[in-house]
Structure 1
Amino acid sequence: MTNSGVERFYRRIAPRYDLLATAPVVRRWRETAVEALDLSPGDTVVEMGCGTGANFPPLRERVGSEGRVVGIDRTQGMLAQARDRVERAGWANVSLVRGDATSPPVEAADAVLGSFVVGLLDDPGAAVDRWLDVLEPGGRIAILEAGRSDRSAALPLNLAFRAFVRASSPGGLTRWRSPARQLDRKIAAAQDALVARTVDRRHEAAALGLVGVTSGRSPVDSP
């Protein structure tokens, strides 16, 4: 699907997407991803593909009023929802930027978060490399994604997940190839890129392995 098609798709579903993004179980997954960043007061954290800003509350809570949260997204519909959230809360230290997560318009960050976004990227491995380029030495990166589980107990969930991905992804209902299989490959590429350039790596799974948070720390150069 073209960029304009993706834009139209997410503009149309943005209000409904926000309801799903802030559901209690999804909030717990998001909290796990934010915890994996090991944020401190005063940090600058950049979220790639911030969507409606569902992660902003826990991110801002951890960086404090003296820190900074930057949300990047290319879709106006999602950013409009995120802007409403920021304005309602009166957060002066949360900035929104319309931009592409594959070439983020930021120079440096103490932490980088991507949640449910790598499946939308043509080359998620290259995108994660660019995210790591802006990460300060010692900073952490975390990727939150949902994909098919290899656990036998998760077979019914896998079937439901495949149907959900087809129905909820841009152009999913008209694709000949399985969107869920393509998503798995993209998640693996993003995780491989993260693992290749980080230390102190962690992986936390939930929902019988369908949901996972992969995180790592940018190496600190030896003196």
Structure 2
Amino acid sequence: MSASTSGEDAREFYGRWARLYDLIARRTPGVPALRRRAAAACRLEPGDTVVEMGCGTGANLPYLRERVGPEGTVIGIDFTGPVLERARELTAEYDNVRVVRGDATRPPVRGDVDAVLATFVVGMLEDPAGAVDDWCDLVGPDGHVVLANAARSDAWYAPPVNAVFRAIVVLSTPPTTKLRYDDDPHLRLDAKIDAAHARLRERSRAVADETHIFGVVRLTGGRVGDGGYSSH
């Protein structure tokens, strides 16, 4: 991933909390099912190549590997060293899963890529819509791009859910010692997620939209079309 806070603050933050983050990423009720659904939305077939942008500790990688089989290729990209070490540990049994240190906005990947997955990533990017453009260009026509992100819920039970969500966003925004922000982090996050998902819809000729986990998580999968909008 590439954090909008950038620099050592973000790297130190995610590196310090790698193991706790991994526990939350794998054990939170509803999240494993979401990860399986996100992998399915990539519409992968045996032998395909899939890239996960901002793979974190690798919680999605086994689900992607299930989809492409032993003859396919799974590549995870993240910018934080300790997080990637955890991902390597947890995927060491797979010889077709590679974990690479890099920036999701300038992924060190070329060649045939069938799908890109990014979960809980675009809210940390300076230009999330631009990143989605790049990912759509990477997979090309008929490839798939899937985004899953947490944002405020619009459901009738939203107020208490959104209060918890806002607290989580504030606590998970590096640096953690900062108690006041010039604007609300959860509103910035919402705006970035809206921009990214809207751009994916613009670039796709077939789109599936879903909500999960009390309406807080939005999942959008798109089959990229020929041409389409691009800011580049």
**TM-score, length-normalised on structure 2?**
0.91
Structure 2 residue 205 is matched with structure 1 residue 199: yes
Structure 1: gaps of 5 or more residues = none
Kindly state the Cα deviation for residue 220 of structure 1 after the two structures are TM-superposed.
5.3
Q: Report the Cα distance in structure 1 between the residues aligned to 2:140 and 2:151, rounded to whole angstroms.
A: 29
Q: Report the Cα distance in structure 2 between the residues aligned to 1:177 and 1:103, rounded to whole angstroms.
A: 28
Kindly state the Cα deviation for residue 30 of structure 1 after the two structures are TM-superposed.
1.1
Q: Report the Cα distance in structure 2 between the residues aligned to 1:129 and 1:170, rounded to whole angstroms.
A: 26
Which residue is 2:68 aligned to? 63
The equivalences for 1:184-223 within 5 A come to 184-219=190-225
1:37 counterpart letter in structure 2: C
Contact 1:198–1:216 (8 Å) recurs in 2: yes
1:143 counterpart letter in structure 2: L
Which residue is 2:116 aligned to? 112
Structure 2 residue 132 is matched with structure 1 residue 128: yes
Structure 2 residue 85 is matched with structure 1 residue 94: no
Q: Report the Cα distance in structure 1 between the residues aligned to 2:52 and 2:166, rounded to whole angstroms.
A: 26
The equivalences for 1:129-144 within 5 A come to 129-144=133-148
Q: Report the Cα distance in structure 1 between the residues aligned to 2:6 and 2:91, rounded to whole angstroms.
A: 29
Structure 2 residue 170 is matched with structure 1 residue 166: yes
2:140 aligned counterpart, secondary structure: strand
Which residue is 1:37 aligned to? 42
Kindly state the Cα deviation for residue 10 of structure 1 after the two structures are TM-superposed.
0.5
Q: Report the Cα distance in structure 2 between the residues aligned to 1:4 and 1:134, rounded to whole angstroms.
A: 28
1:45-78, Cα deviation, whole Å (9 max, x unpaired):
0000000000011100010000000000011011
Which residue is 2:56 aligned to? 51
The equivalences for 1:145-164 within 5 A come to 145-164=149-168
1:91 counterpart letter in structure 2: Y
Structure 2 residue 180 is matched with structure 1 residue 177: no
**Where in structure 1 do 4 or more consecutive aligned residues deviate above 4 Å?**
none
Q: Report the Cα distance in structure 1 between the residues aligned to 2:51 and 2:6, rounded to whole angstroms.
A: 25
Report sequence identity in percent: 47
Contact 1:72–1:101 (8 Å) recurs in 2: yes
Aligned residues: 219
Kindly state the Cα deviation for residue 103 of structure 1 after the two structures are TM-superposed.
1.1
Q: Which moved more, 1:91-100 or 1:20-29?
A: 20-29
1:206 counterpart letter in structure 2: H
Q: Report the Cα distance in structure 2 between the residues aligned to 1:126 and 1:220, rounded to whole angstroms.
A: 17
Higher helix proportion: 1
Which residue is 1:20 aligned to? 24
1:199 counterpart letter in structure 2: R
**TM-score, length-normalised on structure 1?**
0.94
2:157 aligned counterpart, secondary structure: helix
Contact 1:139–1:217 (8 Å) recurs in 2: yes
Q: Report the Cα distance in structure 2 between the residues aligned to 1:121 and 1:170, rounded to whole angstroms.
A: 13
Contact 2:62–2:91 (8 Å) recurs in 1: no
Q: Which moved more, 1:26-35 or 1:53-62?
A: 26-35
1:22 aligned counterpart, secondary structure: helix
